Amino acid sequence: MDKRGKRIIYVSQCILNQNLRFPGIAIESGAISELLIPIMKNGIGIESMPCLERLGWGGVQRTTFFKYFPMISKNIGSFKFPIIKFFLRSWLKKYKNLCKKEAKKIILQMQDYHNSGYTILGIIATNDSPTCGYTQTINFLEIISKFKELDIKGEFENPTLEKMKIIIPRLCENGSGYFMSEMAKQIKRRELKVDIIGFNIWNNLAEEIEVVLNKLNLTV
C-alpha cells in the first residue's frame, strides 16, 4: 500500500495552463491556482483533458482561425456567405470527429480508473468555449452572424482581454460545446457516474470557485 487517495478530477487543460486559451482571453499568467489549490489540499489527483482547439485550430496561436476569419467576417451577408458557411460546416465536421476521437481516449482512461477501484469526482469544463463549454458555449456557426448583430468588427483580429471580457459573455448561449457534448454521450453510454461541472470563468472568480467546490463537496 502507498499514499494514493484514489480520487481524481478531470479539468479542461486551460485551467492548468491559461497560456492555451484563445488569444486575448487568458485571465491568469499560468494556472487558475485559486481553483486548483483547494482540490490539491483535499488530496485529489488532477487529470488534464487535451486542448482540442490547439490541436484543431492551428496551435496555441490558432493560426487556422486567424487565417480565415478576416475573409469570413468581411463577407457576412454577401452572396459569398452561403458558400463560406458550407465550407465552414465541412471544417466543423472534421473538428467534431477529432473531439469524438479524443473523448473516447479520455473515457477509456476513466473506465480504467473505475475498474481499478478509483473514484472520478467529476469534470470541470471551461464554460465559455465552443469546445469545452458544458452549460454555456459559443455556437460557432452562429457566432459570425452575431458579430453583425452585436456590432463586433475588428475585435477578434486583434483580441485583448479588455475587449474580450465584454464580448465573450455576449456571444455565449446555453448548451454544450463539441467536446463536452461527446464526453457526456460517452459517459452515459458507458454508464459511468461522472458529473460534468461548467466553470463560468467570466463570473466573479471567487464566487464561481466556491460554487464549483460545493458541487464537488470539497472544503476550501
Is the pLDDT assigned to residue 51 strictly greater than 80?
yes
Rounded mean pLDDT of 10-15?
A: 98
pTM: 0.92
Rounded mean pLDDT of 154-176?
A: 87
Reported confidence tier of residue 153, pLDDT bands at 50, 70, 90? low
Instruction: State how beta strands 196-199 and 7-12 pair.
Output: unpaired
Per-residue model confidence (pLDDT) at position 74: 78
Is the pLDDT assigned to residue 62 strictly greater than 70?
yes
Is the pLDDT assigned to residue 209 strictly greater than 70?
yes
Rounded mean pLDDT of 46-66?
A: 95
Closest alpha carbon to 102 in 163, 13, 191: 13
Contacts of residue 106, defined as CB under 8 A and 6 or more positions apart, other chains included, come to: 10, 49, 183
For the chain, where are the E strands, in sequence order?
A: 7-12, 45-49, 119-126, 136-137, 173-174, 196-199
Is the pLDDT assigned to residue 194 strictly greater than 90?
yes
Domain ranges of the chain: 7-215
3-state secondary structure of 91: helix
